[in-house]
């Protein structure tokens, strides 16, 4: 399954919202009703961390300004108000089928 993110670069003013799109070449909706789509953030010099799993479930400790939505082949990660600590590269990842695949990454930077 090919994962395609857009945009690849995202300059954002602090306090403004941001949105990242992830599209999959096949539906990620399982017969159990769950979408097998996660979002990860890799801050500069750090290991990735999960933000959202199953398309829309916020991981433990993730601020509520982060939200995930979508189903099937189209997904979106939204940040309601960007903060300086949100800088990094965001990846979507599908785990419905092996091989597991990541998107190319979206680099968020502060204007």
Partner 1 sequence: EVQLVESGGVVVQPGESLRLSCAASGFTFEYFAMHWVRQAPGKGLEWVSLISWDAAYTYYADSVKGRFTISKDISKNSLYLQMDSLRPEDTALYYCAKAGEVGYSFGNLDSWGQGTLVTVSS
Binding-site ranges for partner 1 (CB under 8 A)? 36, 38, 40, 42, 47-50, 53-54, 59-60, 89, 91, 93-95, 98-105
Q: Which is nearer to partner 1, 22 or 93 (CB)?
A: 93
CB of 14 to partner 1, least distance (A): 25
Taking the C-alpha atoms of residue 12 and residue 105, their distance in angstroms, rounded to an integer, is: 16
CB of 54 to partner 1, least distance (A): 7
Q: Which is nearer to partner 1, 10 or 13 (CB)?
A: 10
Q: Which is nearer to partner 1, 73 or 104 (CB)?
A: 104
CB of 4 to partner 1, least distance (A): 12
CB of 11 to partner 1, least distance (A): 19
- How far is residue 2 from each of residues 19, 23, 72, 85, measured CA to CA in Å? 20, 8, 13, 29
Q: What share of the chain is helix, strand, coil (3-state, %, to 5)?
A: 5, 50, 45
Q: Which is nearer to partner 1, 48 or 72 (CB)?
A: 48
**Farthest-apart Cα atoms in the chain, separation:** 42
Q: What is the per-residue burial (b if ≥16 Cβ within 10 Å, else e) of 77-88?
A: bebeebeeebeb
């Amino acid at each position: 399954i090919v994962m395609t993110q857009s945009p690849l670069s995202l300059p954002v003013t602090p306090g403004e919202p941001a949105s990242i799109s992830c599209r999959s070449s096949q539906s990620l909706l399982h017969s159990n009703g769950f979408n097998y789509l996660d979002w990860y953030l890799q801050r500069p010099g750090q290991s990735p961390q999960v933000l959202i799993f199953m398309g829309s479930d916020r991981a433990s400790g993730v601020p509520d300004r982060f939200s995930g939505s979508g189903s099937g082949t189209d997904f979106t990660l939204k940040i309601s108000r960007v903060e300086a600590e949100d800088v990094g590269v965001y990846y979507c990842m599908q785990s419905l089928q092996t091989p597991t695949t990541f998107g190319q990454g979206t680099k968020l930077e502060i204007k």
